[in-house]
Amino acid sequence: MAEYGKMDPFSFAGSKDIDHPVSVRIINLEGEEPPVKFSTLLESPHLRHVGSNTSPYSDLFVTVQVWAGSKPLTVPVQTAYKPFRSERKWNEWLKLPITYKSLPADARLAITIWDLSPTGGKTAIGHSIPFGGTTLSMFDGDNQVQKGRQKCLVYRHKFADGTDNSTTPALIATKKKASLQNGGGGGLLLDKDAEELDRMEKLFKKHEMGEIPRVDWLDQMVFRSFEKKGLVAAKSSMKMLQRQRALNRDEFHSPTGDANSDDGDEEDADRESRRNSPSAFLLNVELPRFDFPVVFADHEYDAPPVSALQPLSASQTALPHQYQPEVQFGPGINAMGESSDGGLGSRLIRVYDPEVGQRDNPAEAKHRRLFRSSHRHGILDKDLKPNSKVRDELNLIMSYSPTHVLSPEEADLVWKFRYHLTRDKRALTKFVKSVNWTDQSESKQAIQVLGRWTEIDVDDALELLGPSFDNSAVRSYAVDRLRKADDQELLLYLLQLVQALKYEHIPPADADDTQDNTEQEQEQEVDQQQEQEQERESTQDSSSLARFLIQRAAANFLLGNYFHWYLMVECDDHSPEQGVDNRNIYRKVAYDFMLELVNQQPGGVEDRKTLLRQAEMVAIVSKIASEIKASGESIAKKTEQLKKSLADPKNELLVFDPPLAMPLDPSVKITGVVPDQVAVFKSSLNPIKCTFKTTSGGTYPIIFKLGDDLRQDQLVIQIITLMDQLLQKENLDLKLSPYKILATSTTAGASQFVQSQSLSAIASKYRTNPALAYLRHHNPDDKQPLGVRQETLDTYIKSCAGYCVITYILGVGDRHLDNLLLAPDGHFFHADFGFILGRDPKPFAPLVKLSKEMVECMGGVNSDLYNRFKQYCFLSYAALRKSSNLILNLFGLMLHANIPDIRLEPDKAVLKVRERFHLELSEEEAIMYFGNVIEGTLTAFAPVVIDKLHEWAQALRA
């Protein structure tokens, strides 16, 4: 008996001590259901306009509300808008206005998923109808707070029932499953596989909580096996669901089996079967985790003394007992209470907060309609001219960056003076933003005004092709402006224009039509010209941008080369962010581009064959690089293996007959590889260096990397190339000369090899003023003060200034002496852009990388060369600020390009670039700020420590 009282210590917390708000993460919605018959949608308009009936990934939002004692304790909290691509996934934390210490023991979360329907219905609130609901208890059977991931059963077409006897419980007993034989019971068949999946789910929870030790290799195997079983279970449950609905449909009809029953009865039966059949959806949510179990606890109050009880007065007994009003989601708030006897109930009203639900303010919407209606026909507006005060306001609006959102007053002002603003090319994008495109009359008049506008700049045309502008007339107007750009200018924006195809109204191609036609079209296609021509015309008619790009790319092989490879990378992207629809769109455009080449005369067929030969060469080099990477030999043996592979006649790389256009630079024709001029670099990916002979008698070395996504580096180099062109237009040649780079897939790519050395390698060879000693060695001139040719130093200073400004604007991180390169002719440049937009793996990284070695090469901070360097920095920064809208719009088109550092926070990517321009400052203030950034970098201690730590880390790896 003595041993009975002994037990291990157990730590826990009481809920009354947790002074933190209740929060829940809405993760995703699992499951699917058979689609509604197309005939039913045609005959039932109220079903046709429900989002979930027309698309398996339609827009949904979720509301969460805390209930207890059959009454709501809080107002509902709603998820933000989330566009779905391949799955309904929110992944959003919602914080509820109640703390854990305030929760009663019967508290539960009422979670309702809302669908959209413009026609409304009996259960509609505004334009929202319930997609389904579920109710999750905050405390489990042991009175412990629920924590971690939870799978909640969704009850279709029902609100979440938060009452004590809830009809929408999140968890149901698995043993109460009846058989489906002969339609009996109307339940689900108990499946051992389902029980096994349920058991695995519980184990996964313990694994996430750390109660089960982690074994990485074994965990991966279990996760993959669980995913396969889940897919099989989903398919079997779908079949059972269809059987259940068929049984419900049979039960709905009369037992006489009248064959003359009309179609309306069948529709009612189908809808009734959907309501009565078990749910096919599960909502995954996550509750906060605590270090210790949290058990329900409440304050213990003393019972009031008997003497405190007083009899009710006559006035008190006359008052009926009134419950507090329940706060409901959405409009429809009662102005008066239900009681009509003039008592307390007549003074109780339900208060509705218009911010809950994120709906438009009805007063503002009414004001906008009244204001626009007075300026709808434009008879008087054509002669309206602003006074001096209004003109200043309009000029301020015109100076806004593309990221600025117009206020309702500013939008009304732009609309009012739209005819006056047609002579200002800056005003077009602001005018398009001020239009309510859902109003047919207003959008029709706006399209008419577009034709009267003065010609806009390219940066404004690019903004109109972004995801914010959906109207086809607006996008066609932007494409018409791009038609006036020459091929060289178009090449600067081609990467972004390919991304803009995602926002076009292009019907996705069937996978069977295009998946085998992206790189190696079959020769039999040429024999089906009539069918292909019809397919091509239908695609190009649906998108003016696709038609424009295909025609220009087919007419100029330089454009066509890059256009082809940009499309191939998008077709190869199988990430969830890309989505099947976008991938099929790019396949369709690539298919139409190949057809256009076949029909292009002269030379179209030869260009098509050249692109196919390029793909074959890249595939062979990729295969060789994969073998080198997989080899466990030393670098020397890997280099020998690389030479043998390139020289092997089976790989057909020694001679290209006829000469082949280099994918990196189509203006260069290569005749074959030089096996002796190769190298394998010492890194985890083991990139290889290959050298090709050119028709001009020279060589073209490249670095081919397998296992890395080069699209981010490709974007940075493209922006650097664009900035170089913008600076040269301002008569400011900073000798940037960016190298060529091309991503050939999502995991491979090539870059031009430029003969140079890193500052780290130079510093190890020359101890005193290494960069200057390196340039003096290659370009000596005893007549100059620093012993280096004046042209070389001029190139060095200009390129340093250019890259300092550009890397600052782009927020390039992870800068160290190994990725700062210096060519023998004085060209300084950066490499390896794995971190941009302010991201950096090291703490306290400087905004501008300006090392001591770079400044010493200029003669020190007190030299004339250093002052010239700062002047070039200021001039280039001021020049690029003038073109900030163009650069911001280019980044805006890359938001869904699956670029790693943009994908992390796509909503902030453009804002991060805009922040570096400091557009809120005047030009003089911005230059002073940038000067302070440069001076602060030179005096900072952290960059020196970072370089030393990186140097030691590299020495340890060697």
Of 833, 807, 805, 821, nearest in space to 929 by CA? 805
| pLDDT over 70, % of the chain | 75
More confident residue, 513 or 828: 828
pTM above 0.95, yes or no: no
Indicate if the pLDDT at residue 529 is higher than 60: no
* Domain end position, chosen among 568, 589, 608: 608
Please indicate, yes or no, if residue 167 is contained in any of the structural domains. yes
Task: Tell me: do 694 and 722 sit in the same domain.
Answer: no
Question: Average pLDDT of the chain?
Answer: 81
Q: Characterize 864-890 residue by residue with b for buried, 16 or more Cβ atoms within 10 angstroms of its Cβ, and e for exposed.
A: ebbebbbebbbbbbbbbbebbbbbbbb
Statement: residue 386 has pLDDT above 70 = yes
pLDDT in tens, 220-246: 777 777 666 666 665 565 555 555 555
433 and 452 share a domain? Answer: yes
Chain segment 610-661, per-residue pLDDT in tens? 999 999 999 999 999 999 998 888 889 999 999 999 999 999 999 999 999 9
Q: What is the CATH number of the domain that holds 656?
A: 3.30.1010.10
Distance in angstroms (rounded) separating the CA atoms of residues 161 and 554:
60
703 and 757, same domain (yes or no): no
Among 608, 641, 663, the domain boundary falls at 608
Distance CA 207, CA 216 (A): 12
CB 458 within 8 A of CB 485: yes
pLDDT tens by residue, 259-310:
444 444 444 444 544 544 446 788 989 999 887 788 888 776 665 554 433 4
CA-based angle 433:436:437, to the nearest 5?
95
From its phi and psi, is residue 124 left (phi > 0), alpha (psi between -120 and 50) or beta?
Answer: beta
Name the token pair of 627.
């073998």
Dihedrals phi, psi of 330, to nearest 5 degrees: 95, 180
Instruction: Assess if residue 494 is contained within a domain.
Output: yes
Assess whether 843 and 949 both reside in one domain. Answer: yes
Q: Supply the DSSP symbol for 382.
A: G
Residues 703, 620: one domain?
A: yes
Q: Nearest-CA neighbor of 753 among 807, 813, 669, 678?
A: 678
- Domain shared by 750 and 895, yes or no: yes
Domain count along the chain: 4
Pair (586, 661) in one structural domain: no
* pLDDT winner (highest mean) among 82-86, 165-169, 374-378, 486-490: 486-490
Q: Say whether the peptide bond before residue 658 is cis (omega within 30 degrees of 0).
A: yes
Type of residue found at 817: L
147/806: higher pLDDT: 806
| Tens of pLDDT, residues 542-601 | 678 999 999 999 999 999 999 999 999 999 999 888 888 899 999 999 999 999 999 877
Domain hosting residue 599, numbered range: 381-608
For residue 346, pLDDT over 50 is answered with no
Does 931 fall in a domain? yes
Is 938 part of any domain? Answer: yes
What one-letter code names the amino acid at 160?
A
Please tell me the distance from the alpha carbon of residue 559 to that of residue 666, in angstroms, as a whole number.
Answer: 9
- Say if 318 falls within a structural domain: no
Report the candidate in 727, 744, 745 with the shortest Cα–Cα distance to residue 736: 727
Digit-coded pLDDT (tens) for 395-432: 999 999 898 889 888 998 999 899 999 999 999 999 99
464 pLDDT more than 60: yes
Is residue 872 located within the same domain as residue 754? yes
In this structure, the answer to whether residues 36 and 135 fall within a common structural domain is: yes
Q: Does 949 lie in the same domain as 873?
A: yes
| Residue 727, pLDDT score | 96
What CATH number has the domain bearing residue 554?
Answer: 1.25.40.70
Q: What type of residue sits at position 895?
A: L
In this predicted structure, which of 57-71, 97-111, 362-376 has the lowest mean pLDDT?
Answer: 362-376
Distances (CA, A) of 691 to 31, 271, 698, 905: 53, 68, 10, 39
Say whether both 718 and 779 belong to one domain. Answer: yes
Flag whether 370 is in a domain: no
Q: Using the predicted structure, report yes or no on whether residue 608 has a pLDDT greater than 60.
A: yes
- Determine the average pLDDT of the residues in 879-884: 95
Convert the pLDDT of each residue in 147-193 to its tens digit: 888 888 899 888 899 998 888 998 754 433 333 333 433 333 345 66
Residue 514 shares a structural domain with residue 572? yes
